[in-house]
Amino acid sequence: MSFDREFTRAGIWNWERPSIEDELHYAQYAEEAGLDSVWQGESRLVRDAMTVLGAYTQVTDEIDLAPGVTNCYTRNVALMAQTFSTLDELSDSRMKLGIGAWWDPLASKVGIDRGNPLRHMWEYCTVLRKLLDLENVTYDGSEIQVEDIELDLVRSDADPRDVPIYIGATGETMHQMTGELVGNGIVSGIFMNYLIPPEHNIKGLERLKKGVEKQDGSMDDVDRPQLIAVSMDEDVDVALDEARGLATQYIGQQPHITKASGISEENAQLVKEELDWPATAADIERAAEHVPDDVVRNIVATGTKDDVIERLRDYCEAGCSEPVVYPLTDNMEDVIDAVAAAKASPE
C-alpha cells in the first residue's frame, strides 16, 4: 500500500488545557485558521468530552466535532445514541463519534469488566448505527442485549442522524475488525492512536485492508485520521524535554503504547516501577530518566516547525488521512498556524 505524504485535511486534539475557556478558544481559532476538525479527549477521569463538545457547537459554525475517543462501556448504547442525536442537532450535523474499547487498569478500577472488547465493540457499533438510523432495535448478542428500543423523536427533528463512527484502534485485531465494520456500512473509519511510530501503522493497515476487503470493500472506503502528539519549539532540546513527560506516562501506564514505542524491556520495567495510577508529577519526573531521547522522538513529532511538519508527513505516508495534532507545548496557536499553512490544496 502506498499513501500520499501531503495532507489536505487536519485537526486538533483539545484536552487538559488550564481552563475550558482555553479549549473553547482553540476550537474557534482552529476553525478560523481553516482546520477541519476538533477532537476532544476523554480517556482518564478528566473533563467529560460530551459537555465540552456541546459548548463547541455554540461557538463554532463549520468545523467538525468529535470525542477522540470516548469508550463503549460507561455509556450504554441507547444513551450514546441519545447523546449523539442531541449533539447532531446542536451542531447542525457536524458531529463524528470516535469510540474506543477503553483500557485497564482504569476500567477495572471503576468496576467495569471489559469482557471481550472486540466483540463488545462490534455489537455496540452495530446497535448504535441502527439506533442513529432511527430503526427499532432488538439485539441479543453475547455482550449487548436490547429489546424493542428506538430514539423517541416525537417532538424533535425526526430525520436519521448521519453521525460517522470512528473506532479508536492500536492493536492489529481491532484494525481488522474495524475494516469489516466499514465494509458492512456500520462505521466510517478508524481513529489511529498516538504515541506510536509511523511504521506501526503499516501492520495495522494491512489488517484493516484485509478486514474491509473481506466484506467486498476497499481501503478507499476507510477514513483514517490519526492523533499525533506534537512538541514544537525552535530549540529542539526544549521540544524534546516537553515531550518526554507524556511519553513516559503512557509508556508506563498503557501496555499497547509500551509495546509500540520501541523502548527496551529493561527500561520499560524501570518506568513502570516508578509509576502508580494516577501518576504524580514527581513519579513521572523520576520515570522519565529511563526514557531515551530516541524513544521520545520515535513516538512524538518533536523539534522545529519544519521538523514537526515533516514528521506529520511521515505519518501520512504511513496511511494517516488527516493528522490530528495534540500540542504538548504552550504554543497551541503557533502549532495550529503551522499545520494550517502546511495543508495542501485538494487537486
Q: Where is pLDDT greater, at 291 or 344?
A: 291
Q: What angle do CA 192, 197, 198 make, to 5 degrees?
A: 70
Residues 253 and 222 occupy one common structural domain: no
Residue 171, SS3 per DSSP? coil
Residue 1 resides in a domain? no
Residues 192 and 267 occupy one common structural domain: no
Reply yes or no on whether the pLDDT at 224 is more than 70: yes
pLDDT, residue 346, reads 66
Reply yes or no on whether the pLDDT at 255 is more than 90: no
| Rg, Å, the chain Cα set | 20
Q: Band of the pLDDT at 257, cuts 50, 70, 90?
A: confident
Spell out a b/e string for 261-291, using b for 16 or more CB atoms within 10 Å of the CB, else e.
bbbeeebbebbbebbeeebeeebbebbbebb
At a CB cut-off of 8 Å and minimum separation 6, what does 69 contact?
A: 42, 43, 98, 99, 100, 166, 168, 191
Residue with cell 468529535: 66
CA distance 103 to 273: 19
Percentage of the chain with pLDDT > 70? Answer: 99
Residues 124 and 33 occupy one common structural domain: yes
Residue 347 resides in a domain? no
CA distance 287 to 44: 19
DSSP 237-290: HHHHHHHHHHHHHHHHH-HHHHHHHT--HHHHHHHHHH--SSPPHHHHHHHHTT
Residue 128 resides in a domain? yes
Residue 6 resides in a domain? no
Residues 33 and 145 occupy one common structural domain: yes
Asked if 89 and 157 touch (Cβ cutoff 8 Å), the reply is yes
Residues 161 and 196 occupy one common structural domain: yes
Residues 211 and 270 occupy one common structural domain: no
Mean pLDDT across the chain: 94
Residues 139 and 266 occupy one common structural domain: no
pLDDT, residue 221, reads 97
Overall number of domains in the chain: 2
Reply yes or no on whether the pLDDT at 33 is more than 70: yes
Q: Band of the pLDDT at 107, cuts 50, 70, 90?
A: confident
pTM for the full model? 0.95
- Grid coordinates representing 285 are 519526573
Residues 126 and 254 occupy one common structural domain: no
User: What CATH code is carried by the domain that includes residue 134?
Assistant: 3.20.20.30
Nearest CA to 310 out of 218, 228, 201 is that of 228
> Range with the lowest mean pLDDT among 131-135, 184-188, 250-254?
250-254
Residues 67 and 98 occupy one common structural domain: yes
Residues 225 and 257 occupy one common structural domain: no
Residue 334 resides in a domain? yes
Residues 240 and 329 occupy one common structural domain: no
Q: Which range of residues forms the domain containing residue 110?
A: 11-230+305-342
CA distance 20 to 237: 30
pLDDT, residue 116, reads 95
Residues 90 and 126 occupy one common structural domain: yes
CA distance 291 to 307: 21
